[in-house]
């Protein structure tokens, strides 16, 4: 269930039925209710007593702060990786870069996202501090959901590949300063894209206002990227886990 929410298989604002989940996963309603409570604590679902339960919309105000935190951690990883990476680790990064090329050519956004994650995790490993990536993973859940919305944009995957290639070249050459610059530029792009992605998908985001309401009419809206995201999520069915 968590994977479905993060990958946008369940879109922000989409109604969630406890009874339907119980039937779908073959559980009683008690463990489903407990799972939903944990997901609510994580900010992945929204529960409105008078309206129902919904896949959480993406908290707009949280994105810049999370990206800044991630940037600080990953710039450090990039610098240390440039100073310490073994040749085998550089080769592993280049292999993940090639996986991104393959996924982009195939139009496979899920595979691209996985290769991108492995690339960033590999940088932390090459730095000698894999725990840095573990920390990033703890804070970036909503950034991941937002990033999924950027991938259907024309040229977005190609741009990410160019930015990753610049990071990899800097690490391979042992230039820590250049690695920091390349990583910073890459993550600054995520920050700069927020207004445009919100404009295209207004119903997938919420402002951190004092009073929040359930999605209008308890139904998910139909922003322009929905079809592209839906098609990608259904391209490779995966086993559901609650």
The pTM of the full predicted model, rounded to 2 decimals, is 0.81
Are residues 68 and 118 located together in one domain of the fold? yes
What tokens does 136 get? Answer: 């990033």
**CATH code, 124:** 1.20.120.530
- Please give the pLDDT value at position 32: 86
Are residues 92 and 46 located together in one domain of the fold? no
Adjacent-strand bridge partners of 52: 48
Are residues 54 and 144 located together in one domain of the fold? no
Tell me if 82 is assigned to some domain: yes
Are residues 162 and 210 located together in one domain of the fold? no
User: How many domains does the structure of the chain reveal?
Assistant: 2
Q: Which domain holds residue 171?
A: 62-199
Are residues 192 and 85 located together in one domain of the fold? yes
What does DSSP assign to residue 223?
Answer: -
- Please give the pLDDT value at position 27: 84
Q: For the range 175-180, what are the long-range contacts, defined as Cβ-Cβ under 8 Å and sequence gap of 24 or more?
A: 175/82, 176/78, 176/79, 176/80, 176/82, 176/83, 177/79, 178/82, 179/78, 179/79, 179/81, 179/82, 180/75, 180/78, 180/79
Are residues 136 and 109 located together in one domain of the fold? yes
Tell me if 242 is assigned to some domain: no
User: Is 217 strand, coil or helix?
Assistant: helix
Are residues 210 and 149 located together in one domain of the fold? no
Are residues 141 and 222 located together in one domain of the fold? no
Are residues 177 and 71 located together in one domain of the fold? yes
Are residues 73 and 192 located together in one domain of the fold? yes
Q: Kindly report, residue by residue over 59-117, the tens digit of the pLDDT.
A: 999 999 999 999 999 999 999 999 999 999 999 999 999 999 999 999 999 999 999 99
Average pLDDT score over residue span 30-55: 89
Tell me if 119 is assigned to some domain: yes
Are residues 91 and 6 located together in one domain of the fold? no
Q: Are 10 and 240 in contact (CB under 8 A)?
A: no
Q: Return the higher-pLDDT residue of 103 and 17.
A: 103
Are residues 108 and 182 located together in one domain of the fold? yes
Computed over every residue of the chain, the mean pLDDT equals 87
> How would residue 31 be classed by pLDDT, with cut points 50, 70 and 90?
confident
Length of the chain: 242
**CATH code, 14:** 1.10.10.10
């Amino acid at each position: 269930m968590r994977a479905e929410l993060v990958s946008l298989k369940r879109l922000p604002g989409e109604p969630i039925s406890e009874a339907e989940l119980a039937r779908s996963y073959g559980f009683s309603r008690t463990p489903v209710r407990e799972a939903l409570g944990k997901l609510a604590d994580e900010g992945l679902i929204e529960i409105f007593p008078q309206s129902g339960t919904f896949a959480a919309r993406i908290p707009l105000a949280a994105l810049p702060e999370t990206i800044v935190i991630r940037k600080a951690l990953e710039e450090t990883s990039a610098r240390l990786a440039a100073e310490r990476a073994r040749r085998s680790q550089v080769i592993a990064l280049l292999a993940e870069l090639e996986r991104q090329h393959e996924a982009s050519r195939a139009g496979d956004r899920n595979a691209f996202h996985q290769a991108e994650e492995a690339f960033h995790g590999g940088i932390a490993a090459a730095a000698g501090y894999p725990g840095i990536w573990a920390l990033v993973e703890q804070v970036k859940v909503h950034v991941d959901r937002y990033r999924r919305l950027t991938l259907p944009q024309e040229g977005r995957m190609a741009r990410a590949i160019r930015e990753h290639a610049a990071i990899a070249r800097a690490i391979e050459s042992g230039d820590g300063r250049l690695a920091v610059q390349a990583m910073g530029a890459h993550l600054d792009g995520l920050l700069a894209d927020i207004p445009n992605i919100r404009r295209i998908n207004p119903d997938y985001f919420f402002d951190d206002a004092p009073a929040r309401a359930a999605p209008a009419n308890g139904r998910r809206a139909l922003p322009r990227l929905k079809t592209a995201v839906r098609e990608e999520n259904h391209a490779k069915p995966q086993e559901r886990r609650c």
